Each structure stands twice: as structure tokens, then as C-alpha cells.
């Protein structure tokens, strides 16, 4: 069971990195640092959008309009950190050899 919790924590950490990469890429596209017409940039953008948008959409629906500032990735990262802490604490309450 502890191994499963560790794998879930690792997956959550990887998803956090994807959220950060998606936010950085959106800034780079918004400030015309990278061109979305480039095939490599477009494929990375499509992948990151497909992976992160399903989790960010419900948060965006709940947030008020902040004038073009999107804080939904920050809120999702805070939720992920909270979940990781819960999982970390759960590891210590499991009896040895628990399935």
C-alpha cells in the first residue's frame, strides 16, 4: 500500500510539472516569444492543453473574472500539494504489511 501511495504522489508531482510547463508556455505564446505556427510548439501546446485543461476547467468555472489573469493553475497546484500531504500522512498510519 505504501508503494501505491508513493506512485500516486509521484504522478501528482509530475502533473504539477505539466501545469507549470503549460502556464509558462501560455505566457510565451501570449508575449509572442514563441510562435504557435511552429509544428513543435503546436504539438507541445496541444499535448499540454489536452492534459491540463480537463482539471483546470472546473476551477475556472468557479472563479470570478479577474480581468485576464488566470490563477486556476495556482489553485490546482495548491490542491495537489494538499493531496500529497494527506497521502504522506496516510503512509504513517498504515500498519506494517497492510495491503
Buried b / exposed e over 3-41, threshold 16 CB at 10 Å, is eebeeebeebeebbeebeebbebbeeeeeeebeeeeeee
Report if residue 99 sits inside a domain.
no
pLDDT, tens digit (0-9, with 9 covering 90-100), for 1-43? 888 999 999 999 999 999 999 999 999 999 999 999 999 999 9
Residue with cell 476547467: 57
Tally of domains within the chain:
1
Q: How far is CA 37 from the centre of its chain?
A: 25
Report if residue 72 sits inside a domain.
yes
pTM of the predicted model as reported, rounded to 2 decimal places:
0.88
Report if residue 75 sits inside a domain.
yes
Report if residue 42 sits inside a domain.
yes
Angle, nearest 10°, between helix axes 39-62 and 2-30? 110
Domain residues for the domain of 81 are: 2-93
Report if residue 65 sits inside a domain.
yes
Average pLDDT, the chain: 92
Local confidence band at 91 (pLDDT 50, 70, 90 cut-offs): confident
Report if residue 98 sits inside a domain.
no
Report if residue 31 sits inside a domain.
yes
The neighbour count for residue 88, using CB atoms within 10 Å, is 12
User: How much is the pLDDT for 57?
Assistant: 95
pLDDT, tens digit (0-9, with 9 covering 90-100), for 41-59? 999 999 999 999 999 999 9
Amino acid at each position: 500500500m505504501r508503494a501505491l501511495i508513493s506512485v500516486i504522489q509521484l504522478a501528482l508531482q509530475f502533473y504539477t510539472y505539466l501545469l507549470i510547463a503549460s502556464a509558462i508556455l501560455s505566457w510565451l505564446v501570449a508575449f509572442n516569444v514563441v510562435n504557435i505556427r511552429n509544428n513543435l510548439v503546436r504539438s507541445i501546446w496541444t499535448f499540454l492543453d489536452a492534459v491540463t485543461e480537463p482539471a483546470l476547467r472546473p476551477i475556472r468555472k468557479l472563479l470570478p473574472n479577474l480581468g485576464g489573469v488566470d490563477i486556476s493553475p495556482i489553485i490546482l497546484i495548491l490542491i495537489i500539494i494538499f493531496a500529497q500531504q494527506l497521502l504522506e500522512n496516510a503512509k504513517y498510519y498504515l500498519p506494517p504489511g497492510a495491503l
